[in-house]
Structure 1
């Protein structure tokens, strides 16, 4: 840690990373009168590109409520596909689970490019948010009074608080000296978008196999009226390249077979991408004048589709803590205040990481005996109203102590 540059342009908060978590945090913080600057190496053209690349996210009901509170939901609603039901099965065997949230709904599916673009457009239009894009960081420094970021072109920016929202390879986390507990699942997630011969009826399907689950997540119909879905297929690391390199026809045939044909023929319509699956958990979410949100603090298995929702819950909690502190005249980088945010979020993040890890390992056990145990467990869950309600509340993101940004306004 070095002395800061007193000539640096100062703001209350410096957010490193213009992904969904970073931009949502910026929009939330300016509502409390805090000055915010966001720095990222990505270009504005990339952030604003609305092109659909097959990647989409499941936004829990409370995450969608956040977008409503930030004034973004109305503009995104036309492209958001409601998730009314979740269906879980052990392969194609009988005895699966159906979770129907009724009129409440579970949340929505939304293409990543549209979410990213809407957040960027809103942040760009806000005079209280300074976006510094296409920026290469040369020096990062923190002292007792401020954090300072110096760019390769010589510009310097300081703030009372530095927020790491860069993702799993977070330089801000490294600057803080926060260690990371992590391990590889030796699996890769393959993502693409497909058309379905039959309607998904706004249902998210999760089909578990020993090699990994196949998630079929509902999207809005395409321009020709064909049902669409986002696919997240977990495969062993050694098989991923072979699956990705298959022709569209062969890959679609494999998906149709894996689904048992209940959705008819499945046809890929976007290029496939894949990424290594890991579990990462930061040992802390704060340090003097530093806070972490989203993937900079935690990465979980995509088995439950909750990674982005956890990050947005971080955003809502940090925004509330800093907003309340601002009203009391507190320094945004006050460590006692930041530890309140950490205490609020660490348990929820750790519990979700543990739950997804256990699920992945449990359903990865081959053989008839583990399969029987799993199906018996699903029958118990299916017949126990309290457990079903808990799972639905977790899927909707409505359990626990919720920040105000995740709740409907009075």
Structure 2
């Protein structure tokens, strides 16, 4: 009998049933089976996940993780591969948008560097897998916790108290659990808001992603899987992430639908034909934020509870799922050695594993946003020269595309497609 099963079965409570929390719960339960009790708490677990129409770019390394977890097969026919990417830099009034940089979309043979998926589809697949794996799914929140040396007592909103070896806070950027633990939060606003929507268009996007760098912020067009209509025709679709100065957003969203569509067309262009909003645009303020520590006594922060970055590189969800891969591997390896999953030395390994990457990613996205959301002529000339230089260096382009795909030999096993 293993050291883990020879004593009372450890319990891990995950507060937050979003994509990061569900992925972590599934990874732990698949790896440790009856050696661990995983309890997931979130009022949203009682909702229909398909109601979430947000779209995300899933990098190749995260796709490999989802494949290792056994959920990618359900997503493959719903995911749109990104086949190539085009980057432009211009002003809205410019008659021509010159292309400064292009990326081919494949890494390691024919594997796309990223896929576009709908959050609701992935959430539904993860929920189904979590139920099959035996997670205890509780449609209620976590009210608080109290470390008691060898355990932490987790109080649910319904009043039940669950003694646990480890509590994982996956409760978002405004994490109450992070605040209760007294963990500081370093942040600053970007004075930009992100407008997101799904757009339908006449012509096929052919798997191409486009990023227009404009003075008010980047405007990204991300290809989605076409939908078959009742008459057998295809409705071509894309997701937009429209970064705009925050002071301009209320007037945009409150304008007449035709005026808003005209503003969209100015940024989107007409290369894909007539446009229409498939989902209403929604806006949210953009900011940078990072926790001063990713751990506290018997507590680990996950995803947005630990860090928030600018969406300019489309890496927000991917970075959170990298947290999942690291924490799942560290906890699994520790428990197989008979160690306490909530012990300080185990959690310190997670802190060390994630701090450097998060710091580097935060600095990169912050720097890119400041560089490209800038209309000063000398800055424009320098950055456009740099983009053109990269475009003429195939080796450097391959390096950047592998970085965007998250493919590193030092990555946790799940991100290499290996089961724990």
Q: Does 1:125 align with 2:129?
A: no
**CA–CA distance in 1 between the matches of 2:23 and 2:251?**
37
Deviation at 1:341, TM superposition (A): 1.5
More off after superposition, 253-262 vs 327-336 = 253-262
Q: Does 1:140 align with 2:145?
A: yes
Contact 1:17 1:39 in 2 (8 A): yes
Q: 2:218 aligns with which of 205, 213, 218?
A: 213
Q: Does 1:88 align with 2:97?
A: no
Q: 1:188 aligns with which of 186, 193, 199?
A: 193
**CA–CA distance in 2 between the matches of 1:95 and 1:138?**
51
Write the deviation string for residues 120-145 of structure 1: whole angstroms up to 9, x where unpaired. 22212322x11111x24443211211
Write the deviation string for residues 61-119 of structure 1: whole angstroms up to 9, x where unpaired. 11111111111111111111011111111025324211103322111100111111221
More off after superposition, 377-386 vs 137-146 = 137-146
Q: Does 1:305 align with 2:314?
A: yes
Write the deviation string for residues 350-387 of structure 1: whole angstroms up to 9, x where unpaired. 11111110111111111332221121010111122332
Compared with structure 1, are the counterparts of its residues 155 and 376 closer, same or farther at alpha carbon in structure 2 (3 Å cutoff)? same
Q: Which runs of 5+ in 2 are unaligned?
A: 1-7, 91-95
User: 3-state SS of the aligned residue for 1:166?
Assistant: coil
Compared with structure 1, are the counterparts of its residues 242 and 296 closer, same or farther at alpha carbon in structure 2 (3 Å cutoff)? same
Write the deviation string for residues 203-241 of structure 1: whole angstroms up to 9, x where unpaired. 111101110111100001122302100011011111111
**CA–CA distance in 2 between the matches of 1:328 and 1:43?**
33
Q: Which runs of 5+ in 1 are unaligned?
A: 1-8
Match of 1:111 in 2: 118
User: 3-state SS of the aligned residue for 1:226?
Assistant: strand
Q: Does 1:79 align with 2:61?
A: no
User: 3-state SS of the aligned residue for 2:76?
Assistant: helix
**CA–CA distance in 2 between the matches of 1:84 and 1:335?**
44
Q: How many matched pairs?
A: 397
**CA–CA distance in 1 between the matches of 2:14 and 2:418?**
26
Contact 1:63 1:312 in 2 (8 A): yes
More off after superposition, 374-383 vs 118-127 = 118-127
Contact 1:200 1:263 in 2 (8 A): yes
Deviation at 1:326, TM superposition (A): 1.0
Give the TM-score of the pair, scaled to structure 1: 0.92
Q: Does 1:271 align with 2:280?
A: yes
User: 3-state SS of the aligned residue for 1:230?
Assistant: strand
When the two chains are superposed, the root-mean-square deviation of aligned CA atoms in Å is: 1.8
User: 3-state SS of the aligned residue for 1:158?
Assistant: strand
Contact 2:83 2:208 in 1 (8 A): yes
